[in-house]
Structure 1
Amino acid sequence: MSSQLTTPLIIFDWDGTVMDSVGRIVSSMQLTARDLDLPVPTAMAVRDIIGISLMPAIDRLFGTLSESQLERFFAVYRHYYIDADQTPSPVFPNAESVLQSLHSQGFQLAVATGKARHGLERVWAETGLDAWFHYSRCADEAESKPHPKMLHDLLRESGFQAEQAIMIGDSVHDLRMAANAGIAAIGVTFGAHPRQRLQDETALCLVDSWVELQSVLTQFNPSLTHQVVG
């Protein structure tokens, strides 16, 4: 990986990348399936859909549900994920300090997440991490990953070119979205998909912690190539 690559816009996935929420997503999805008498998916099956939007995730796990089933599914899943499921979902160790450091160094930070807008706003209110992010796109504002629209929207809003950005994510959906948008990517191995799943995707490198991620990112010069478009 060349230290000459400049990446002033850093785009982060959320679940499994910034927040250690994979366990809660898995258990909430399984509890919802149980309550609705749907086949209970394995943990591996749920981990595989983390990162994409909820509707295509439901389709992959349970097939096509009726409108009334979907309405009930959304309500029950939200009940478990927000209120009833006590599986911890903390911010990953060192994530907050690294985000603050990157922000102070002049990097522009963004989020591209499979969460809906209300979900991102809720966890931002809980964690206070919104202070470090300049831009964001959510699942209800664009096509699901790995479609590149989220990233295209972020580039257009921020004024950066694709070669001036980098995507950070824990799933093959994140890395494929970046590839589809012509954006470089770094995979993190501590989220939904393990190293062996990520290593076959297009990425500059894979990292095992936020400390390692910071070391990689701070090799890049955040000020050389930013030119506002239009």
Structure 2
Amino acid sequence: MTTLKLAVFDVDGTLIDSQDFIVEAMNRAFGEMGVALPSREQVLSIVGLSLHDAIAQLVPDLSDRDVDIAAQQYKDMFIKLRAEKGGEAAAPMYPGAREALEVLHPRDELLLGVATGKARRGLDHAYDAHDLRKFFVTHQTADDHPSKPHPSMLQRALSETGAEAINAVMIGDTSFDMDMGKAAGFRTIGVTWGYHPRERLIAAGADILIDAFAELPAALDELWGTT
């Protein structure tokens, strides 16, 4: 009997390069509030967290009320940017991302999922813009779970698919993804083209690092002992 396997992907910084959208929307939001603008590096360092937690970490001296205001401003600015730039399609997929999904999706024993700090609406826009929905059977967003690195998203993905944690892998570009994967009992693959540097992924305990999507199928086989 074939063992069911599950591979869960982060979205921003892993599948889709949305950094320009994120940085500009965050800067516009803080500009509207008269708050000092964080650097690009600071903004990208918190990508992956839920929006409230990300802003609270980015500007720790904001009151809870101001964090809520900034979060709403960010959402409003992101919607405006989406309209200005022609939707989520303006944020490109990383090279090789679609090809990797097309290779992995037909595997009978393998299910694919998403665990993202995006809201459900944002994920739906990304799915529609890049025709990605067909690849994934479980879709976990910030609307329904505590922020990464809490393992709730991955625990729900296991529940929905029937896979076991020992046969599951979390694939992401941040230490939050690696920490979440470890907390859920998943193996972890860190991708080096996203928003956290290689050293931070290693420090978070990534089982394998890959430098291109072409390396992903072999990395999965290595983790599952099928090479």
Q: Is the counterpart of residue 204 in structure 1 residue 207 in structure 2? A: yes
Percent identical residues: 36
Question: Any gaps of 5 or more consecutive residues in structure 2?
Answer: none
Instruction: Measure the CA separation in 1 of the matches of 2:94 and 2:23.
Output: 17
Any idea what the Cα deviations from partners look like across 1:149-180, whole Å, max 9, x if unmatched?
11111111111111010000000000000111
Q: TM-score, normalised by structure 2?
A: 0.87
Instruction: Measure the CA separation in 2 of the matches of 1:221 and 1:57.
Output: 33
Q: Which amino acid aligns with 1:81?
A: F
Q: Is the counterpart of residue 101 in structure 1 residue 98 in structure 2? A: no
Instruction: Measure the CA separation in 2 of the matches of 1:159 and 1:7.
Output: 8
Instruction: Assess, with a 3 A threshold, how the Cα gap between structure 1 residues 89 and 13 changes in structure 2: closer, same or farther.
Output: same
Matches within 5 A, 1:9-88: 9-63=6-60, 64-65=62-63, 67=65, 69-70=66-67, 72-84=69-81, 86=85, 88=90
Any idea what the Cα deviations from partners look like across 1:41-76, whole Å, max 9, x if unmatched?
111211111101001111112233454x45643443
How far the C-alpha of 1:181 sits from its partner, in A, is 0.9
How far the C-alpha of 1:198 sits from its partner, in A, is 1.1
Any idea what the Cα deviations from partners look like across 1:101-122, whole Å, max 9, x if unmatched?
1011222000000001111111
Instruction: Measure the CA separation in 1 of the matches of 2:115 and 2:225.
Output: 20
Matches within 5 A, 1:149-164: 149-164=152-167
Aligned residues: 217
Which 4+ stretches in 1 moved above 4 angstroms? 69-72, 85-88, 218-223
Aligned match of 2:93: 91
2:191 to 158, 163, 188: 188
Q: Which amino acid aligns with 1:42?
A: S
Instruction: Measure the CA separation in 1 of the matches of 2:223 and 2:198.
Output: 24
How far the C-alpha of 1:221 sits from its partner, in A, is 6.4
Instruction: Measure the CA separation in 1 of the matches of 2:64 and 2:181.
Output: 33
Instruction: Measure the CA separation in 1 of the matches of 2:221 and 2:150.
Output: 28
Q: TM-score, normalised by structure 1?
A: 0.86
Matches within 5 A, 1:93-132: 93-106=95-108, 107-132=110-135
Any idea what the Cα deviations from partners look like across 1:13-60, whole Å, max 9, x if unmatched?
110001011232122212221121012111121111110100111111
Instruction: Measure the CA separation in 1 of the matches of 2:51 and 2:181.
Output: 20
Q: Which SS does the other structure have where 1:199 is aligned?
A: helix
Instruction: Measure the CA separation in 1 of the matches of 2:97 and 2:151.
Output: 25
Instruction: Measure the CA separation in 2 of the matches of 1:47 and 1:216.
Output: 26
Q: Give the RMSD, CA atoms, in angstroms.
A: 2.3
Equivalent pair of 2:52/2:71 in contact (CA under 8 Å) = no
Equivalent pair of 1:7/1:221 in contact (CA under 8 Å) = no
Q: Is the counterpart of residue 142 in structure 1 residue 145 in structure 2? A: yes
